[in-house]
Amino acid sequence: MFGKVQKVLDEEIRPALQMDGGDAELISVEDGVVQVKLQGACGGCPMAMMTLVGFVEERLKQRIPEVKEVVSL
């Protein structure tokens, strides 16, 4: 599942984050829990949790039903 998550991140999520000066790095995928590290402008942004849950988690769950949760490191 790591490869599927990486593909969605690279093709759909990271480009959108990069448009606002941010980025995301995939750290791990285990038992449906995806760990990412928000970087750049996203790393210190007060909206980081909303971005993580409202955009990153939602998009991953839409594309990969096995994803249960996305957490930030």
Out of 3.30.300.130, 2.30.42.10, 3.40.47.10, 1.10.10.10, the CATH code matching 2-72 is 3.30.300.130
Q: How confident is the model at residue 25 (pLDDT cuts 50, 70, 90)?
A: very high
Q: Is the pLDDT of residue 47 over 80?
A: no
Q: Residue ranges per domain, the chain?
A: 2-72
Pair type for strands 69-72 and 33-40: parallel
For residue 21, is it left (φ>0), alpha (ψ between -120 and 50) or beta? left
pLDDT, position 5:
98
Q: Is the pLDDT of residue 41 over 80?
A: no
pLDDT, position 73:
85
Distance CA 16, CA 32 (A): 23
User: pTM of the full predicted structure?
Assistant: 0.88
